[in-house]
Amino acid sequence: MPKTVEALLQNIRLLSEQQFQVVQAVRVLVTQTLGPVAEEVKYGGILFTSGVPFGGVFAFKGHVSVEFSQGAGIHDTLGFLEGGGKGRRHIKLHGVGDLSAKKLALHLPLALAAARSRE
């Protein structure tokens, strides 16, 4: 398993250019929306931290998943969050257009606030 973000991105690109483009678009949107965040490779994806860990992006065979660590604490009036576990929620992305279609930029600050409220 890759240990650096760059190595993981290379692996994703080798498997699917589309998945790579979606992952890169998520990373850009996270930074544009929240400012600088720390990234680390964990659990096979890229985890994001801004004072607290709040989510990550994971490439799968048929989609890219943006996971929110405390997603259950997000009041999802738009209905894009999936998952029914105790804490986590996710948004599945099948292409770059899904970032705007599923309003990812609106969910990111909510995910960070939910993670901070659990500290």
Q: How many CB atoms lie within 10 A of CB 62?
A: 8
Confidence category of residue 84, pLDDT binned at 50, 70, 90: confident
Residue 119, pLDDT above cutoff 80:
no
> What is the C-alpha separation between 24 and 30, in angstroms, rounded?
10
Residue 1, pLDDT above cutoff 80:
no
Burial grade of 72 (CB within 10 A; 0-12, 13-18, 19 or more)? middle
> What is the C-alpha separation between 52 and 109, in angstroms, rounded?
12
Give all domains of the chain, ordered by start, each with its CATH number.
5-117 (3.90.1150)
**Residues 63-83: what's their mean pLDDT?**
93
**Residues 72-77: what's their mean pLDDT?**
90
Q: Are 23 and 59 in contact (CB under 8 A)?
A: yes
Confidence category of residue 2, pLDDT binned at 50, 70, 90: confident
> What is the C-alpha separation between 89 and 1, in angstroms, rounded?
24
pTM as predicted = 0.94
Confidence category of residue 12, pLDDT binned at 50, 70, 90: very high
Angle (deg, nearest 10), helices 17-34 and 104-117:
60
